[in-house]
């Protein structure tokens, strides 16, 4: 059994079960007894905790991350050191990792679902980057998918620590290499754009169902990030829109200056794409796939000569289709080098060949010059006026109208999706109608309407989960207004009604209202007093009032009758919903461990006590508690000593008051009451029988 299960950290966090483990820490599900909520506690592994400098950075990084507050970032509540353990306390997430979600699906995510996830990831990164915090380890394993379809990014700032402890981390920590940026692989300076690259790899994996680079070892994968170009997403999945592919490849550009400048810039493109999936960002291959801007550095001691050779930059180019040409393998380059060496062995007559080549080139240049001069002496260019094709005709109509076109030809340009223009109709042309051009520029490029295809047909969401309905609408660019109402039939959090009927065609941004059930409306009842009742009487009285008895806590009390209620969690006369659960405390009588010193004056075998020795007398006092904070420490002294009073730590203030028993002897004894170390009350009490 795990040695930490059941352990109470800082007298507050009770470790319940182990829920995960990573290269640096072990994660436990825990209960915070002070706030009565479940949390996640991440405990630093013992081998790393031995390094004082690493522990200092662990605390500094965690404190910085604790300042982040965003709905798409896992919240950090506390950072502490207790019983030789360094740990952080985080929000406990009810969900699975994005990696588990993709594995569970077993196929690429739809581009709409991928857009839904990556948008939330970039919002989280934008918030963190604006506060100077770089994640450094964005991967699906660090992204949590909640039941409502939202995501939260975890482990901010932890990757910086991992680099400081790389000598102690195991192979488990190398899983991030599939998502590492080229500059991280080189050991170069990194900034927020490294996170953008990793987010691009995550988007690539969601869209295609595979990683851009695979290899036999982490080193080989890292070298591919530096030198290679992945298959374009649409080659693996033709259903991916071109614009989303462009966003993915720009985020994964090998050079940092060719990526998005910020997470917000990438988020802006994602929003533009969401509004119009057929948008053309017109990113060129030079924008996305330029060569590396600095030499490759050695990854570590594990990289041998072969690894360094493979890290050298490879040539780039473009095919006529505009698609980037993949880098050649290192083995191909070595083969070419061997061919060159063999060629040099056969070049003894190279000077003579070079001279002949120079003469041929000179003659060709003279012929070209003469031809150019003769061509320029022809008649002047004829001026033509560009016809108007924006008269409601289709591209086929224009091509067939020779009288209108004259010497011009028509070439199809972009397809634009428009609500008003019919499909196939020409909506723009270049050059514009009425402009003049010379002969040689007689081609008109026209943009054609694709019709009103960017629509969503409204579904029936009645009696379906509101979170599912909301996620579905948002994936189509429709952000519904949520209204809540009581309903005796529809389950709580499910949709009662919708403002738009099923089958209605909607466009991004169209208004939709969903009315969501809060369940049956509960009646309010006045809380009754349970003080002095027995447990069974209290249960029956609560049941008759429409309330329920909750936790029953036995408590020592020197004044109340044994078995009677001395405290209730809800004050009498307060209005509460029907079905409210009420906790109570039941008296067990005086605390047997708190008793006066035994009177030994009559005990056999002992000498009689001096008649001048005062007898200890017990007194029950009442101490008022403040309304906040939730827990306080109470210390009571009698004549400056706790011996006759006592210490009452972590006392809940919702008890309102406590009635401790104190001991003393004599008249006019000074009793001081301290709450959280501050003197709150001084009393003078006569301790007489």
Residues tagged active-site = 137
Asked whether the beta carbons of 223 and 180 are under 8 A apart, the reply is no
H helices of 602-656, where?
A: none
**Residue 575 belongs to what H/E stretch?**
strand 575-577
Asked whether the beta carbons of 22 and 159 are under 8 A apart, the reply is no
CA dihedral 446, 452, 454, 458 (to 10 degrees): 180
The tokens describing 347, both together, are 């070049």
253 CB-near residues (< 8 Å, 6+ apart): 197, 259, 287, 288, 289, 290
Say how far apart CA 414 and CA 280 lie, in whole Å: 9
Phi-psi region of 472 (alpha: psi -120 to 50; beta: other; left: phi over 0): alpha
Say how far apart CA 668 and CA 110 lie, in whole Å: 81
Say how far apart CA 549 and CA 586 lie, in whole Å: 13
What is the end-to-end Cα distance of the chain in Å, rounded?
A: 55
Q: Between helices 192-208 and 111-130, what is the axis angle to 10°?
A: 170
Say how far apart CA 354 and CA 374 lie, in whole Å: 31
Q: CB count, 10 Å around CB of 632?
A: 19
Say how far apart CA 455 and CA 423 lie, in whole Å: 14
Q: Tokens 């207004």 sit at which residue?
A: 481
């Amino acid at each position: 059994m795990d040695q930490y299960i059941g352990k109470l950290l800082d007298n507050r966090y009770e470790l319940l079960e182990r829920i995960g483990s990573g290269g640096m820490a072990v994660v436990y599900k825990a209960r915070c007894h002070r706030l009565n909520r479940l949390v996640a506690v991440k405990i630093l592994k013992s081998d790393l905790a031995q390094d004082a400098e690493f522990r200092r950075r662990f605390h500094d990084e965690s404190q910085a991350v604790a300042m982040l507050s965003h709905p798409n970032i896992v919240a950090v509540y506390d950072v502490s050191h207790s019983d030789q353990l360094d740990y952080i306390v985080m929000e406990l997430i009810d969900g699975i990792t994005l990696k588990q979600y993709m594995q569970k699906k077993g196929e690429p995510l739809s581009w709409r679902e991928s857009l839904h996830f990556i948008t939330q990831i970039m919002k989280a990164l934008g918030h963190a980057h604006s506060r100077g915090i770089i994640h450094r380890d964005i991967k699906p394993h660090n992204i949590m998918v909640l039941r409502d379809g939202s995501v939260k990014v975890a482990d901010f700032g932890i990757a910086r620590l991992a680099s400081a402890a790389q000598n102690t981390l195991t192979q488990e920590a190398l899983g991030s290499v599939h998502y590492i940026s080229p500059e991280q692989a080189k050991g170069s300076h990194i900034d927020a754009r490294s996170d953008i690259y990793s987010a691009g790899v995550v988007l690539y994996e969601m869209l295609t169902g595979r990683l851009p680079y695979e290899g036999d070892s982490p080193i080989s994968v890292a070298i591919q990030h530096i030198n290679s170009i992945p298959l374009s997403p649409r080659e693996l999945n033709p259903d991916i829109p071109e614009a989303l592919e462009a966003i993915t490849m720009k985020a994964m550009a090998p050079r940092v200056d060719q990526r998005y400048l910020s997470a917000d810039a990438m988020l802006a493109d994602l929003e533009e794409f969401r509004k119009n999936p057929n948008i053309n960002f017109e990113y060129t291959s030079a924008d996305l796939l330029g060569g590396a801007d600095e030499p490759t550095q050695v990854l570590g001691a594990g990289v041998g000569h072969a690894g360094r050779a493979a890290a050298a930059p490879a040539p780039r180019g473009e095919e006529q289709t505009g698609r980037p040409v993949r880098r050649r393998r290192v083995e191909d380059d070595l083969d070419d080098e061997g061919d060159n060496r063999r060629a040099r062995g056969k070049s003894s007559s190279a000077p003579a060949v070079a001279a002949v080549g120079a003469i041929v080139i000179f003659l060709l240049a003279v012929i070209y010059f003469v031809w150019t001069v003769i061509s320029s002496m022809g008649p002047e260019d004829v001026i033509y006026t560009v016809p108007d094709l924006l008269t409601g005709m289709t591209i086929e109509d224009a091509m067939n109208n020779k009288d209108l076109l004259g010497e011009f030809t028509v070439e199809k340009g972009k397809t634009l999706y428009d609500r008003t223009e019919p499909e196939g109709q020409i909506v723009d042309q270049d050059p514009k109608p009425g402009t003049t051009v010379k002969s040689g520029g007689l081609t008109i490029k026209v943009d054609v309407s694709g019709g009103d295809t960017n629509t969503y047909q409204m579904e029936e969401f009645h009696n379906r989960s509101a979170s599912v309905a909301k996620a579905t609408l948002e994936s189509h660019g429709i952000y519904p207004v949520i209204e809540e109402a009581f309903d005796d039939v529809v389950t709580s959090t499910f949709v009662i009604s919708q403002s738009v009927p099923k089958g209605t065609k909607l466009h991004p941004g169209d208004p939709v209202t969903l009315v969501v059930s809060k369940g049956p409306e509960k009646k309010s009842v006045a809380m009754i007093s349970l003080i002095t009742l027995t447990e069974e009487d209290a249960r029956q009285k609560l049941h008759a009032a429409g309330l329920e008895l909750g936790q029953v806590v036995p408590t020592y009390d020197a004044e109340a009758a044994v078995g009677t209620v001395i405290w209730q969690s809800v004050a009498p006369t307060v209005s509460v919903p029907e079905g409210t659960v009420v906790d109570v405390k039941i008296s067990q009588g005086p605390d047997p461990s708190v008793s006066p010193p035994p009177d030994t004056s009559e005990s056999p075998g002992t000498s009689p006590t001096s008649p001048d020795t005062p007898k200890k007398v017990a007194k029950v006092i009442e101490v008022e508690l403040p309304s906040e904070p939730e827990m306080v420490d109470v210390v009571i002294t009698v004549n400056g000593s706790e011996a006759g009073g006592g210490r009452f730590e972590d006392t809940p203030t919702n008890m309102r008051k406590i009635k401790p028993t104190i001991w003393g002897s004599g008249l006019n004894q000074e009793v001081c009451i301290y709450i959280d170390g501050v003197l709150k009350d001084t009393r003078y009490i006569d301790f007489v029988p």
